[in-house]
Amino acid sequence: NAGVMQNPRHLVRRRGQEARLRCSPVKGHSHVYWYRQLPEEGLKFMVYLQKENIIDESGMPKERFSAEFPKEGPSILRIQQVVRGDSAAYFCASSPGLGTKNNSPLHFGNGTRLTVT
C-alpha cells in the first residue's frame, strides 16, 4: 500500500533554471492537489487536477508555473526560470473521487524541498 510518492525529496536549482517536481498518487486515486509551504507558514493551495484535466488552478501563479496529470504516469509540477522566491516545500496530495462526499482526507507525500540559489 504505497502512499503518495514525491520526488525528488530535495531539489537545488540556480536562478533561471527549470524545476520539475513529480508526484505519484495513491494507487486508485484520481485526484491530485499541489500545495506550497513557505517556512513557518501554512500550506497554500496551488492547483487541483484529475486525470488529464485541470479542475482548479486558482492558486497557481499565472506565469512560469504549470501542472499536468497525464493519463499515464505521475503528476508533474513545472516551474520555469526559477527565482529565489520559489524556494519552498511543495507538497502533493491525492484523494479518491469525491462525488458529493466531503469526508475523504487528503493523503500527502513527504514533499519536495526546492532551493533556488
Residues of this chain that interact with another protein (CB under 8 A) are 31, 33, 35, 41-45, 48, 55-56, 89, 91, 93, 98, 100-103, 105-108, 110-111, 113
Fill in the amino acid letter for 60: M
Of residues 23 and 93, the one with the C-beta less far from another protein: 93
Fill in the amino acid letter for 45: F
Partners of residue 95 on adjacent β-strands: 31
Q: How far is the CB of 16 from another protein (least distance, A)?
A: 27
Of residues 15 and 44, the one with the C-beta less far from another protein: 44
Q: How far is the CB of 69 from another protein (least distance, A)?
A: 14
Identify the helix (H) or strand (E) that includes residue 82: none
Q: How far is the CB of 12 from another protein (least distance, A)?
A: 17
Nearest CA to 10 among 108, 103, 87, 95?
Answer: 87
Cell numbers at 45, concatenated = 493551495
